[in-house]
Amino acid sequence: MKEYTQLIEEMLQKEQWPSAPQNLYEPITYILNQGGKRVRPHLCLMAAELCGGSAMQAIKPALAFEMLHNFTLLHDDIMDKAALRRGMPTVYKKWNTNIAILSGDTLFAKAFEQMLRYEGANKDLLLQLFIRTTIEICEGQQYDLDFEMMEQVSGDTYIEMIRLKTAVMLAACLQAGALVAEADVPTQNLFYQFGIQMGLAFQIQDDYLDVYADADRFGKQLGGDIAENKKTYLSLMALQTAEGKDMEQLKYYFSKVDFDKQEKFLAVKHIYDQYQIGEKAMRLIHHYYNTAMDLMHQMNIPDAQKQTLKQYADLLIGRDF
Amino acid sequence: MKEYTQLIEEMLQKEQWPSAPQNLYEPITYILNQGGKRVRPHLCLMAAELCGGSAMQAIKPALAFEMLHNFTLLHDDIMDKAALRRGMPTVYKKWNTNIAILSGDTLFAKAFEQMLRYEGANKDLLLQLFIRTTIEICEGQQYDLDFEMMEQVSGDTYIEMIRLKTAVMLAACLQAGALVAEADVPTQNLFYQFGIQMGLAFQIQDDYLDVYADADRFGKQLGGDIAENKKTYLSLMALQTAEGKDMEQLKYYFSKVDFDKQEKFLAVKHIYDQYQIGEKAMRLIHHYYNTAMDLMHQMNIPDAQKQTLKQYADLLIGRDF
């Protein structure tokens, strides 16, 4: 893992960014240098190696996905009015909305350019995968924005939203690695499907941890989603199953944001507990995780490689269940 | 020309846009169906035919450039706070900023997808040209935004801005047509350079017409740029050459927007006239136009084709000088 991190950071640093216009390229290097976990390029490099290729063969697609991911962050932060990202002011706050739009557009274009520089196997398929993924991510973000305006959203619709917004990029990174290494077609697809299942598990776990994490280990305050009335798998399930006074209470608490945060958190969590919402979410996380493992076992790669993939997935999902 | 228009509209209509999410795809079909002159795809189809290819061969790159152009409009209208485009409400006004950002991103991705569908000659070069052009357009828009905050901008800097913001896309469309038709490399480059010169002539003419057009033929009110203190080639030249009281007056009028529009227009135009600003602009338009013609004569295409190219250029620039 450390070798991947080193390779990714080294190659990102090697990227030559023009110095002008400064207001276009400074925000790009600002967000790229903030780090983050680099999950997407990691997945791409790892999949290439697991399929018998080398990390170096996959570095350009890997960096392209990392750039694409950061482009989506630049624009999402405007739409979500997010002031902070990775503990630092977002580009739209530090500069302004116009600069965040335009440096996002440029980073998007640079991601494509990076992908075009790749000269190995399956280039056309990689480009198609890349562009289809981009479009799906936009669709996912649009559904997410739409949901904010809706009173009730079904569980299935929510899952489809997080599939598009989060899971497809993880899936595409894994498939890209398999494409680079010229894995057989069923294995390529299994990597993609594995990524979808892990992505869904990861996102629902994210929803779960906001309420049920061990506060000391979580690293941020619990109940952030609840305080902001964010639609999560848990809140949707609760709004689907709560009855009578509980339902009234939920609707009351989710109707505005100016409550005492701790009081609201405890009240909502109390209702979640009564309806076993945490358990329901955990069952779904298990379901996606187990499906991912089934898919993994069907991959045409050595067993030792499957263990590596499983370890990374467990690490990613911070699995202690 | 009519045949090109028919082909472009027919192929644009054939595009299958998903129905959901509605808030993502409705703005895209809304802006694409508004029409506009379709200058960019026209240039691409025409260049392909002038170089011995067929319009049909070039249709995918042509549509890709039209989509790319409309993506830039979606985002530019947010940045410029433009309420109307082609006489209709802009997407950011009719929907909202978030939807204009996201449908723009999607249209950008769709433009690239359209380009990937092209399966003829020089595909890699076309993709590279496409992405380089996109990045340059973003740079041009950033310079334009930067200029709004600057007191003085030199003529050369302004020309570089309009080269990036406007001319490179016209140039790229022409070169794309030449690439599709497998013109020799010098001719490809001559088409590109021809497009740059025509683009510069076109943009400075646009600046010129805002002040000196025949109001009846112009189709919109004169002095729009002056009313909004927009930096144009004319205003920059005037601010560079005016002296004494004239300079004071110019600075006074360009310091705010709440003047009587007609009074301001006449006062500024009066200063322009004293310093032959209109003539200076016209000389530069001639210079770029003549350079374009020189480049055209060097192209390795039949003379009859050169006549067609000249006619389209004259039509585009509405040339009556």
> What pLDDT digit, counting tens, does each position of B277-316 carry?
999 999 999 999 999 999 999 999 999 999 999 999 998 8
B123 and B14 belong to one structural domain? yes
Predicted pLDDT at A319? 58
Return the bridge partners of B88, or none.
B85
For residues B191-208, give the mean pLDDT: 96
Nearest residue to B77 via CA among B111, B27, B113, B40: B27
Q: Does B149 lie in the same domain as B59?
A: yes
Contacts of A98 in chain B (CB under 8 A): 78-79, 145
Last residue of a domain, one of A138, A155, A183: A183
In angstroms, the CA B15 to CA B10 distance is 9
Q: Which long-range contacts (CB under 8 A, 24 or more apart) does A236-243 make?
A: A236/A152, A236/A153, A236/A154, A236/A155, A236/A158, A237/A155, A237/A275, A237/A277, A237/A280, A237/A281, A238/A268, A238/A271, A238/A272, A238/A275, A238/A277, A239/A152, A240/A152, A240/A154, A240/A155, A241/A275, A241/A277, A242/A271, A242/A274, A242/A275
Please indicate whether, in this complex, the C-beta atoms of B135 and A101 are within 8 angstroms of each other.
no
Instruction: Tell me the three-class secondary structure of chain A, residue by residue.
Output: CHHHHHHHHHHHHHCCCCCCCHHHHHHHHHHHCCCCCCHHHHHHHHHHHHCCCCCHHHHHHHHHHHHHHHHHHHHHHHHCCCCEECCEECHHHHCCHHHHHHHHHHHHHHHHHHHHHCCCCCHHHHHHHHHHHHHHHHHHHHHHHHHHCCCCCCHHHHHHHHHHHHHHHHHHHHHHHHHHCCCCHHHHHHHHHHHHHHHHHHHHHHHHHHHHCCHHHHCCCCCHHHHCCCCCHHHHHHHHHCCHHHHHHHHHHCCCCCCCHHHHHHHHHHHHHHCCHHHHHHHHHHHHHHHHHHHHHHCCCCHHHHHHHHHHHHHHCCCCC
The secondary element (H helix, E strand) that includes residue B53 is none
B131 shares a domain with B57: yes
> Does residue A204 sit in the same domain as residue A164?
no
B142 interaction partners in chain A (CB closer than 8 Å): 21, 23-24, 99, 102
In this prediction, residue A321 carries a pLDDT of 43
Q: Mark whether A216 and A149 lie in a shared domain.
A: no
Q: Please name the residue of chain B whose CA is at the shortest distance from the CA of residue A117.
A: B128
DSSP bridge pairs for A84: A89
Question: B138, A75: Cβ pair inside 8 Å?
Answer: no
- In chain B, residues with a C-beta closer than 8 Å to the C-beta of A105 are 75, 104-105, 108, 134, 138
User: What pLDDT is recorded for position B216?
Assistant: 74
pLDDT confidence of residue A195? 98
What is the pLDDT at residue B321? 43
Each residue of B55-92: pLDDT tens digit?
999 999 999 999 999 999 999 999 999 999 988 999 99
pLDDT of residue A216: 75
Parallel, antiparallel, or unpaired for β B84-85 and A84-85?
A: unpaired
**Which one of A142, A144, A150 would you mutate to disrupt binding with B, by most B Cβ within 10 Å of its Cβ?**
A142
Same domain flag for B38 and B149: yes
* Res B167 pLDDT > 80: yes
- Residue A173: other Cβ atoms inside 10 A: 31
A234/A223 Cα distance (integer angstroms): 12
Question: Which tens digits make up the pLDDT trace of B17-55?
Answer: 999 999 999 999 999 999 889 999 999 999 999 999 999
Whether residues A279 and A305 share a domain: the answer is: yes
pTM (2 d.p.): 0.95
Indicate if A118 and A198 belong to the same structural domain: no
Q: What is the CATH number of the domain that holds B130?
A: 1.10.600.10
Find the residue in B nearest to A81 (Cα).
B98
Residue B155 has pLDDT above 50, yes or no: yes
Count up the domains in chain B and report the number.
2
Instruction: Report chain A residues touching chain B, CB-CB < 8 A.
Output: 18, 21, 23-24, 75, 78-79, 97-99, 101-102, 104-106, 108-110, 112-113, 116, 124, 127-128, 131-132, 134-135, 138-139, 141-143, 145-146
With a cut of 70, list the residues of chain A below it in pLDDT: 219, 319-321
B39 and B27 housed in the same domain: yes
Instruction: Give the residue from A120, A150, A183 where a domain finishes.
Output: A183
Range of the domain at A231: 185-321
Q: Rounded distance, CA B205 to CA B122, Å? A: 34
Does the distance separating the beta carbons of A109 and B135 come in below 8 Å?
A: yes
Q: Are residues B55 and B106 in the same domain?
A: yes
pLDDT at position A151: 85
Judgement on whether residues A176 and A193 belong to the same structural domain of the protein: no
CA nearest to B50, candidates B168, B187, B186: B187
Condensed to tens digits (0 to 9), the pLDDT of residues B210-230 reads: 999 887 777 678 899 999 999
Q: Are A224 and A165 contained in the same domain?
A: no
Q: Final residue of a domain: which of B183, B218, B250?
A: B183
Report CB contact under 8 Å: A109, B139: no
pLDDT at A100: 98
Q: Which residues of B touch A109 (CB under 8 A)?
A: 108, 131, 134-135, 138
